[in-house]
Amino acid sequence: MKNWRHRQIVSLFLIAVLILPACASKGELGDSFDPENQKEYGINGTYVGQNIQEAIDILRPAKADFMDMQTREAYTVEQMASGQGKMVMGMMLVDRAQVIVMVEHGVIQSIMLAGVPEEQAQELKTNRGLAMYDSEVQLKKLYGEAAGEKEVVYKGSKQTASFGIINEQVVWFRFDRL
């Protein structure tokens, strides 16, 4: 009887040692860009595929306005978080930077960022750590090589990341669900 319990405890311990680390690391960012990890596609901890309420809680915008793209009806974050709104476009003001998001049934479909004041560039970084106005070299260091001269695009099977390059600097980026 004692031998059976000992085996159960050892088995549970082995399962915990082998499976829990795998679960804990799932979804986190690795050393290199993973085009299949949805958390790669976002800024400041928000990402494409996340619920809008979670994103608002992370970004804490000073102002946020949302409107359905078809009906022109205004939506609150609470309405969208509960799944309302077929395709809602929104603008969030984070300090002086405008973050534009597209939300479908409470889930972020697109995050766009451009026109960030230079003094605020380091405040809004991609989840991989790329800031607005960073060099094209830094982009390739963090995300790897990709085709494109004025627009560099990285694609996964469900998401895409686009970066606008002018004078060898990143001047806009956009993350989208496919």
For 102, the domain range is 38-177
* Number of domains forming the structure of the chain: 1
Question: How high is the pLDDT of residue 45?
Answer: 95
Question: How high is the pLDDT of residue 148?
Answer: 84
Q: From the first residue on, what is the mean pLDDT of each consecutive set of 10 residues in the chain (178 residues)?
A: 56 44 54 94 96 94 92 90 89 92 94 91 94 95 90 95 95 95
With a CB cutoff of 8 Å and minimum separation 6, the contacts of 173 are 112, 113, 114, 126, 130, 132, 161, 162, 163, 164
With a CB cutoff of 8 Å and minimum separation 6, the contacts of 19 are none
Question: How high is the pLDDT of residue 8?
Answer: 59
Residue 129 domain-assigned (yes or no): yes
- Cβ neighbours, 10 Å, residue 119: 9
Residue 141 domain-assigned (yes or no): yes
Residue 118 domain-assigned (yes or no): yes
Residue 13 domain-assigned (yes or no): no
Residue 85 domain-assigned (yes or no): yes
By CB neighbour count within 10 A (0-12 exposed, 13-18 middle, 19+ buried), where does 133 fall? middle
Question: How high is the pLDDT of residue 14?
Answer: 40
Q: Counting runs of H as helices and runs of E as strands, what totals does the chain give?
A: 4, 8
The structure's pTM equals 0.80
Residue 71 domain-assigned (yes or no): yes
